[in-house]
A and B are shown apart, each in its own frame.
Chain A
Amino acid sequence: EDKVVQSPLSLVVHEGDTVTLNCSYEVTNFRSLLWYKQEKKAPTFLFMLTSSGIEKKSGRLSSILDKKELFSILNITATQTGDSAVYLCAVLTGAGSYQLTFGKGTKLSVIP
């Protein structure tokens, strides 16, 4: 059975801190790893990582994938209160039909 594990499950930091969120996986037919941010309802797409060792960046957020060790990290620098959300890691698997297997998420709370 495909499995995605995120850690920590929750995190409280002060504005300006840097955080690292972890995601490890054990799946068959790996295609890609995706990060989403979920504030209220709809998960919003952050990154898609397909190749090992290539960092993706968007503003203060960055992510990297290690396909040998089967994990990914999401970094957020200079955190702001608007970064407070649940961050979901999902692995896309399949052949012909692609499905996402999600971790439970990391709940990040940024306090002023």
Chain B
Amino acid sequence: ETGVTQSPTHLIKTRGQQVTLRCSSQSGHNTVSWYQQALGQGPQFIFQYYREEENGRGNFPPRFSGLQFPNYSSELNVNALELDDSALYLCASSVAGRYEQYFGPGTRLTVT
């Protein structure tokens, strides 16, 4: 098991609502990346945070936003939820400049 934790485990929201997901990185890791994994698909890169700033972004609209805090933990915010946002959201922590990324258990988001 990695030291990456995520909360909540499961979440059900209604279309149009907003959601915040949280991630605590593994001890000593200063970079957090977020991924979206739809059912039956591989994870897709949303964005990465390093030194509290966004440091790379995938093909996701601006309603997906994030934060990183001084203790390296991170939040993913999604506004104006759509049905297609239903997925497993994974965060991965790493050390800047190192290649290995270690994943948390994920948050399962269901949008109805």
A residues contacting B by CB (< 8 A) are 4, 31-32, 34, 36, 41-45, 48, 50, 88, 90, 92, 94, 96-105
Contacts and interface: CB of A to CB of B under 8 A. Distances in A.
Interface range for B: 20 to 34
- The SS class assigned to the A binding surface is strand
Interface stretch (B12-20, B40-48, B63-71, B76-84): B40-48
Contacts of B42: 4, 88, 90, 102-105
Nearest to A40: B105
A99 B99 contact: no
A21 to B, nearest CB: 13
Interface-central residue, B2, B100, B103, B108, by most chain A CB under 10 Å: B103
23 contacts: A32-B99, A34-B99, A41-B90, A41-B105, A41-B106, A42-B2, A42-B90, A42-B104, A43-B90, A43-B103, A44-B2, A44-B103, A45-B2, A50-B99, A90-B42, A92-B101, A98-B48, A99-B33, A100-B92, A101-B45, A102-B42, A105-B41, A105-B42
Given A48-B100, A50-B99, A99 B43 contact: no
Given A31-B99, A41-B108, A100-B45, 8 more contacts: A36-B103, A42-B104, A43-B43, A45-B102, A98-B94, A99-B45, A101-B45, A105-B42
B55 A96 contact: yes
Given A96-B55, A97-B48, A99-B56, A45 B43 contact: no
B72 interface: no
B106 A94 contact: no
Nearest to B54: A97
Contacts of A99: 33, 45, 48, 56, 58
